[in-house]
């Protein structure tokens, strides 16, 4: 399909596909709550397409991309949890509130179903239309740009922010949008969540975009900064994920020893520095958000220098306080309890991903969980000859294991969805 105006071509079939795929990925990754559960409708649509249009290729794609192996690991983890830690918890009288178990099932179950179905659909579509990984990566970057534009518009226009908050409060994490501090200081954008896991997703997309610009089209370097603005406004942790991406990009080009690429990288860093200063200057128009960002920087600096807590709002002090790092007693730490510390009655809450997953799965289950993620990334790096995925494999592994200190990375959220999409695209292109 080609749209023309006289003799001038306005839109080619590929451009139309790129627009539709970018919007598809925007909904899949960020689940903007214009309606309840938009990712559910996307998953149903994708499943029907796989059952009809792509019925002949879907199974081969599932095997080739590594989706099958990932789903099998997650199923094995479910069976392990049901058969080992949960019966042990029953014997120990440690069954917590039902709503907690529902939230755990929702967190992992929705992730596996939505990502496996939708990723398979995307890869089938790309293969049928003979699009390479570049097409899908650029669509993912476009999805990040759409979300970042929403964040910037929300920052610049209180009316747009109020409209977004109305929908997010109605169809997503409603408890957050009754919090005056949160909607005054943060909440810039339009997604199912704008907290730390949002920052992980935006940080991963911005980081991949930065490296994509270093090795290819230079405009993506600027686009990476635009995308990173969304995490600066909403999740300070995502800024650190982006910093990891830039550091790994420097390491990659220095290791390659390509003078032109090294020059491009350091010029890009200079551009990012100038851009960051401009963004921070614009942010000063909102003293609350600026103060929150500055408090985060001060918290990290103070922590690295061994300083004492700066009060109840000191993020690093809160993260590393003793009760946040509370582990199950031996020997239950080995097998897990079948519940985490998120909203479990009778337990002190902890944000730390590793702590929550040790409670949920134990050492044995976490070995399977973390080992499978590391194996996917290491295997991708070893087998691919594509620079984009050699870099992405290392970056994703570093981002995941770093972020899991701050919070549980796995679940249906922008971080986990973006992470697995990139891995599956890489394995599909490589195998």
φ, ψ for residue 175, nearest 5 deg: -60, -30
Domain-located, residue 4 = no
- pLDDT, residue 2, reads 59
Given a cut of 60, whether residue 7 has pLDDT beyond it is no
Given a cut of 80, whether residue 309 has pLDDT beyond it is no
Given a cut of 80, whether residue 314 has pLDDT beyond it is no
Domain-located, residue 266 = yes
Q: What's the mean pLDDT in 175-197?
A: 92
Tens digits of per-residue pLDDT, 217-229? 899 999 999 999 9
φ, ψ for residue 47, nearest 5 deg: -65, -45
> Among 170, 169, 207, which residue's Cα sits nearest to residue 187?
169
Helix, coil or strand: residue 340? coil
- pLDDT, residue 339, reads 94
Tens digits of per-residue pLDDT, 101-132? 999 999 999 999 999 999 999 999 999 999 99
Give residue 37's Cα distance to chain centre: 18
Distance between CA 89 and CA 355 in Å, rounded?
A: 17
* Residue 417: band (very low, low, confident or very high) from pLDDT cuts 50, 70, 90: very high
Tens digits of per-residue pLDDT, 334-344? 999 999 998 88
Q: What's the mean pLDDT in 198-211?
A: 97
Give the pair of three-digit tokens for residue 98: 């039902």
Q: Which domain holds residue 195?
A: 10-285+321-430
Given a cut of 60, whether residue 8 has pLDDT beyond it is no
Given a cut of 70, whether residue 3 has pLDDT beyond it is no
Range list of H helices, 53-84 = 58-64, 67-83
- What total number of domains does the chain contain? 1
- pLDDT, residue 300, reads 80
Q: What count of residues does the chain have?
A: 431
Distance between CA 295 and CA 243 in Å, rounded?
A: 18
Range list of H helices, 84-190 = 85-92, 98-128, 133-156, 158-171, 180-185
- Bridge partners (DSSP) listed for residue 9: 4
- pLDDT, residue 231, reads 94
Given a cut of 70, whether residue 139 has pLDDT beyond it is yes
Residue by residue, DSSP assigns 250-308 as HHHHHHHT-HHHHHHHHHHHHHHHHHHHHHHHHHTTSHHHHHHHHHHHHHHHHHHTTPP
- pLDDT, residue 360, reads 96
Query: Is the bond into 331 cis (omega within 30 degrees of 0)?
Result: yes
Q: Among 25-39, 136-150, 298-312, which stretch is predicted with the lowest mean pLDDT?
A: 298-312
Domain-located, residue 291 = no
Domain-located, residue 237 = yes
Domain-located, residue 177 = yes
Give the pair of three-digit tokens for residue 319: 């993260």
Tens digits of per-residue pLDDT, 251-292? 998 888 778 888 888 888 898 889 888 888 888 888 889 888
Q: Are 183 and 233 in contact (CB under 8 A)?
A: no
Helices (H) and strands (E) in the chain, counts: 19, 2
- pLDDT, residue 266, reads 86
Q: What's the pTM value of the predicted model, to 2 decimals?
A: 0.94
Domain-located, residue 315 = no
Tens digits of per-residue pLDDT, 240-253? 999 999 999 999 98
Given a cut of 70, whether residue 306 has pLDDT beyond it is no
Distance between CA 204 and CA 222 in Å, rounded?
A: 15
Given a cut of 90, whether residue 313 has pLDDT beyond it is no
Domain-located, residue 308 = no
Q: What's the mean pLDDT in 210-222?
A: 92
* Residue 296: band (very low, low, confident or very high) from pLDDT cuts 50, 70, 90: confident
Q: What percent of the chain has pLDDT over 90?
A: 74
Q: What's the mean pLDDT in 68-93?
A: 95
Domain-located, residue 71 = yes
């Amino acid at each position: 399909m080609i749209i023309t105006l006289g003799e001038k071509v306005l839109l080619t079939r590929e451009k139309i596909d790129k627009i539709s795929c970018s919007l598809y990925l925007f909904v899949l990754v960020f689940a903007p709550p214009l309606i309840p559960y938009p990712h559910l409708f996307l998953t149903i649509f994708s499943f029907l397409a796989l059952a009809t249009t792509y019925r002949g290729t879907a199974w081969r794609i599932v095997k080739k991309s590594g989706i099958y192996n990932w789903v099998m690991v997650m199923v094995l983890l479910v069976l392990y949890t049901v058969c080992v830690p949960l019966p042990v918890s029953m014997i120990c009288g440690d069954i917590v509130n039902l709503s907690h178990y529902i939230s755990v099932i929702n967190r992992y179950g929705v992730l596996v179903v939505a990502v496996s179905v939708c990723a398979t659909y995307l890869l089938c579509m790309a293969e049928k239309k003979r699009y390479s990984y570049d097409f899908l990566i650029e669509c993912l970057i476009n999805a990040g740009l759409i979300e970042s534009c929403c964040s910037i518009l929300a920052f610049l226009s209180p009316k747009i922010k109020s409209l977004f908050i109305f929908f997010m409060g109605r169809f997503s994490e409603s408890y957050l949008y009754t919090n005056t501090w949160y909607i005054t200081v943060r909440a810039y954008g339009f997604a199912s969540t704008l907290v730390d896991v949002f920052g992980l997703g935006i940080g991963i997309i911005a980081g991949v975009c930065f490296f994509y610009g270093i090795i290819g089209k230079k405009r993506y370097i600027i686009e990476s900064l635009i995308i990173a603005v969304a995490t600066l406004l909403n999740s300070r942790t995502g800024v650190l994920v982006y910093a990891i991406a830039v550091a790994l990009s420097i390491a990659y080009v220095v290791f390659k020893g390509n003078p032109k690429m090294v020059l491009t990288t350091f010029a890009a860093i200079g551009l990012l520095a100038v851009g960051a200063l401009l963004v921070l200057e614009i942010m000063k128009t909102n003293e609350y958000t600026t103060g929150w960002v500055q408090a985060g920087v001060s918290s990290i600096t103070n922590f690295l220098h061994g300083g004492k807590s700066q009060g109840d709002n000191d993020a690093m002090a809160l993260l590393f306080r003793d009760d946040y790092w509370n582990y199950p007693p031996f020997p239950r730490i080995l097998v897990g309890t079948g519940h985490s510390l998120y909203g479990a009655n009778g337990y002190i809450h902890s944000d730390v991903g590793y702590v929550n997953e040790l409670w949920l799965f134990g050492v044995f289950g976490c070995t399977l969980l973390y080992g499978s993620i590391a194996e996917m990334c290491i295997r991708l790096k070893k087998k691919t000859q594509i620079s984009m995925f050699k870099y992405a494999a290392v970056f994703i592994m570093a981002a995941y294991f770093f972020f899991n200190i701050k919070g549980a990375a796995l679940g249906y959220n922008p971080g986990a969805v973006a992470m697995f999409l990139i891995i599956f695209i890489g394995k599909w292109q490589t195998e």
